[in-house]
């Protein structure tokens, strides 16, 4: 029984040398862990790493070259050349034009006494008696002066330059209904002298301009013309 009791007693004493080795190993592992965490912090992958700020730049606007600007301006000009003017612009241009012609007539009224004197002198030299009523004569002389002035300063320039004074002020030109072709100067002359006054007087000729895409009035169809924005 005494031997059995000695065998059952366990010896729990740990070798001191082994204990020192275990403690040294733990210290080494702990020191290694601190070093790895320090390395992670330095690399910026640790918990205390600073967040990188992302700067998002908007799309940069491309600078247009001179060639691109020239192409854009040419395209805008070509588009403007095929655009009909607005109704208000046309009405204002017509009012300005007929105001010019009315101004010529008013000028003729003021010049009637001078013209009457020269007219009577001419008749006496030819031995012709003046049989017209003086008031009618004054109207004819004033109208004749207005017609000649309008012919020289209004209708002929309109046929040559495809613009009347009113259209020039409102930036409108007379063109051909087919893009790229030029209207006949003679037809433009007749348009302003005959077709347009009759069309405006009928009112219906002007209202036709609201019923088509090109805003062409009756006098435009008769003279084969169309109005465009002159930019």
What pLDDT does 74 receive? 63
Q: What is the DSSP letter of 12?
A: -
What pLDDT does 128 receive? 87
Question: What pTM value is reported for the model?
Answer: 0.63
Percent of the chain with pLDDT over 70: 69
Residue 110 lies in a domain: yes
Residue pLDDT, tens place only, 113-169: 999 999 889 988 988 888 888 899 999 999 999 999 999 999 999 999 999 999 999
What pLDDT does 48 receive? 45
Residue 203 lies in a domain: yes
Residue 108 lies in a domain: yes
Report residue 186 as tokens: 């003679």
C-beta atoms surrounding 230 within 10 Å: 17
Structural domains in the chain (count): 1
Report the first-to-last Cα separation within the chain, whole angstroms.
Answer: 130
3-class DSSP state of 172: strand
Residue 187 lies in a domain: yes
C-beta atoms surrounding 141 within 10 Å: 20
- Domain containing residue 106: 77-229
Q: Give φ, ψ of 226 to 5 degrees.
A: -155, 155
Length of the chain: 231
What pLDDT does 3 receive? 47
Tell me the H-state helices in the chain.
2-8, 16-43, 66-81, 87-126, 134-150, 156-161, 165-169, 185-190, 196-202, 204-207, 218-223
The CA distance from 123 to 129, in Å, is: 7
Residue 3 lies in a domain: no
Give the residue carrying structure tokens 């109207």.
139
Residue 150 lies in a domain: yes
Q: What is the mean pLDDT of residues 166-181?
A: 92
pLDDT at 100 over 60: yes
Residue 88 lies in a domain: yes
Residue pLDDT, tens place only, 30-83: 555 545 455 444 544 444 444 454 454 555 556 778 777 777 666 655 555 578
Residue 18 lies in a domain: no
């Amino acid at each position: 029984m005494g031997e059995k009791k000695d065998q059952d007693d366990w010896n729990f004493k740990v070798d001191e040398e082994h204990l020192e080795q275990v403690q040294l190993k733990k210290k080494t592992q702990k020191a290694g862990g601190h070093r790895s965490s320090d390395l992670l912090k330095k690399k910026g992958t640790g918990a205390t790493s600073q967040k990188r700020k992302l700067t998002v730049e908007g799309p940069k606007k491309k600078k247009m070259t001179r060639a691109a600007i020239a192409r854009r301006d040419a395209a805008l000009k070509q588009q403007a050349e095929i655009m009909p003017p607005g109704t208000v612009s046309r009405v204002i241009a017509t009012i300005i034009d007929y105001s010019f012609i009315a101004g010529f007539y008013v000028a003729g009224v003021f010049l009637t006494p001078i013209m009457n004197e020269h007219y009577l002198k001419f008749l006496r030299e030819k031995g012709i008696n003046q049989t017209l009523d003086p008031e009618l004569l004054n109207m004819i002389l004033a109208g004749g002066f207005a017609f000649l002035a309008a012919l020289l300063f209004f209708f002929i320039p309109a046929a040559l330059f495809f613009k009347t004074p009113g259209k020039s002020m409102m930036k409108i030109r007379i063109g051909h209904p087919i893009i790229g072709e030029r209207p006949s100067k003679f037809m433009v002359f007749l348009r302003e002298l005959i077709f347009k006054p009759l069309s405006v007087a009928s009112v219906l000729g002007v209202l036709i301009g609201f019923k088509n895409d090109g805003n062409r009035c009756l006098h435009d169809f008769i003279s084969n013309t169309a109005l465009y924005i002159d930019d």
